Amino acid sequence: MSQYFLIESKSPFESTEVSYNYQIASDLAKSGHEVTLFLVENGVLASRSSIIPSELANISPVKVLADNFSLEERGIESSEISSNIQVSNVTSIVEAMGQGQKTMWL
């Protein structure tokens, strides 16, 4: 199966489109593909465990990463991040592309 690296920069609190993007990631993973969802810019606002949208909290088996710079710029501490989200950086995007993963900015 294919590997997908999806990048989400919008907050689900600003755009209803984001929940559809989470669903795309989930559907791809449930179809047997390896999927990583990278939250960047306002996309990281959904990563707080106290306000995480249910669509993101239940997105397993999708691997979810949050950009550390975006988190810092928005004053989000790593201790606030949901346990199913790993802190990463934009190097992850370059690495995914270098590995031939299908990369899409949602």
> How many domains does the structure of the chain reveal?
1
Range of the domain at 26: 3-105
Question: What are the pLDDT digits (tens) for 49-81?
Answer: 999 999 999 998 999 999 999 999 999 999 999
Give pTM, 2 decimals.
0.95
pLDDT band per the 50, 70, 90 thresholds, residue 34 = very high
- pLDDT on residue 23: 95
In terms of DSSP H, where are the helices of 34-104?
Answer: 54-57, 68-73, 91-98
Contact 40, 11 (CB under 8 A): no
Question: What are the pLDDT digits (tens) for 1-16?
Answer: 899 999 999 999 999 9
Which residue in the block uniquely carries the two structure tokens 């989930």? 26
Please, which residues bridge with residue 104 across strands?
Answer: 6
Share of the chain above pLDDT 70, in %: 100
- pLDDT on residue 1: 87
Contact 103, 5 (CB under 8 A): yes
Please, which residues bridge with residue 26 across strands?
Answer: none
Instruction: Identify the CATH number of the domain in which residue 65 sits.
Output: 3.40.1260.10
- pLDDT on residue 90: 94
